[in-house]
Structure 1
Amino acid sequence: MADAGDSRSTQRRLEGLFTAHADRVYAFAAHRLDPEAARDVVSETFLAAWRRIEEIRDPALPWLLGTARKIIANELRRHSRQTALTERLIVMTSERDTGDESASAADRQSVIAAMRHLSEADQEVLTVSAWYDLSGSEAAKVLGCSPGAYAVRLHRARRRLHRQMGPAAAEDCASHPVQEVEP
């Protein structure tokens, strides 16, 4: 067990690293991400530094930037998955394809905002449906329910998503019933 002296020296070293390098780590992250995400990268980088302080040799900046680079890559992958999921949800919730880029961007924002207002259960059934290309019976197994229950959950989740997206989407939902799920 580390004594109080070791703990204080670790804290002083981490504070010194933060004071010396936080701005550069932020600038590194801000070249790839928005300002809020870049601040998160700085926080996660220095959390990793605190956990692995014994591994960090001088000069510390290459270690910190290498760690930040990995965190940025994870964030970009997460964002890419979220964008792909949003695109699939747009296709799932609307049959219209206007070819208008501004409408497509508005649809993406509308779906993202609407998803945030849904319950975890609704988000889960929509994600399983839109993301994994499973059959109805396969998706039901994933969710631990019968295919019939899955179809009902999916229908209700889509309806709630459309309601969150506004009146035009709700009308579109009413005119496009859920496809039958094989038993």
Structure 2
Amino acid sequence: MDAEQFEECWHTHIRHVVAYAERHVGRDAAYDIASATFLTAWRSWDVVPSEPVPWLISVAHGHVRNHHRSRRRRGTLEQRLALLDKASYAGPDASVTATQRAEALAVLAAMPEADREALLLVAWEGLTTAQAAEVLGCRAGTLRMRLHRARARIEASPDLFSPLTRSAQ
């Protein structure tokens, strides 16, 4: 590794990489993309060609794609949380604090959709396993397996879900 060559590359091409990133992710994230790009270059300095701009832009392009994927996943999770929050019961007998509720919704949102839906049909909608299986178009055994997986995820934080799991059993 030649630190002087890397430093020269950075000083020469940082503006180019930041400009590319800014066109694709905006000013706020452009510097993060440029930093990640040059970190990749530092770690892979042996394969960086003598004319590094196309290589750097290619690496930056990969980081831009990762940034967009991450934003889509975060947006999807936020949508799921909003839907679950809107659909959850917040009546006067609710014994869950706001923090616990947010944590519970995050655990539910992170579950695979089929497992979450099985749990919610039984726990929140009050359906039997046979009825929930009919709604989802699956066998009762399949639904019981989904419930088992959902409950296993919940057991990691039992304080959050004690009313939910009691009603779902």
Answer whether TM exceeds 0.5 for this pair: yes
**Is the 8 Å Cα contact of residues 128 and 139 (structure 1) preserved in structure 2?**
no
Match of 1:93 in 2: 85
Q: 2:151 matched to which residue of 1?
A: 140
Aligned match for 1:33, one of 21, 25, 31: 25
DSSP 3-state at the match of 2:151: helix
Tell me if the contact between 1:26 and 1:38 (Cα under 8 Å) persists in the aligned partners.
yes
Q: Which amino acid in 2 is paired with 1:182?
A: A
Matched AA of 1:45: T
Identify the residue that residue 44 of structure 2 maps to in structure 1: 52
2:28 alignment partner, SS class: helix
1:92-171 equivalent positions in 2, closer than 5 A: 92-95=84-87, 123=103, 125-131=104-110, 132-133=112-113, 134-135=115-116, 136=119, 137=147, 138-145=149-156, 149=158, 153-154=160-161
- 2:155 pairs with 1:182: no
Distance in structure 2 (CA, Å) of the matches to 1:11 and 1:23: 19
Equivalent-residue separation in structure 1 for 2:167 and 2:14 (angstroms) = 53
- Structure 2: gaps (5+ residues): 88-98, 120-146
Output the CA distance in 2 between the equivalents of 1:73 and 1:155: 40
Report the AA paired with residue 10 of structure 2.
Answer: F
Task: Confirm or deny that 1:84 pairs with 2:76.
Answer: yes
Could you tell me the percent identity over the aligned residues?
A: 24
List runs of 5+ in structure 1 lacking aligned partners. 1-6, 96-117, 157-177
- TM (norm. structure 1) is 0.59
- In 1, Cα distance between the equivalents of 2:154 and 2:5? 48
Match of 2:142 in 1: none
Q: Following TM superposition, by how much is the alpha carbon of 1:144 offset from its aligned partner in structure 2, in angstroms?
A: 4.1
Q: Do the aligned partners of residues 44 and 145 (structure 1) sit closer, same or farther apart at CA in structure 2, a change above 3 Å counting? A: closer
Residues 32/155 of structure 1: CA separation in 2 closer, same or farther (3 Å cut):
farther
TM-score scaled by length of structure 2: 0.64
CA distance, structure 2, for counterparts of residue 51 and residue 90 of structure 1: 40
Once the 2 structures are TM-superposed, how far is the Cα of residue 142 of structure 1 from its aligned partner?
2.7
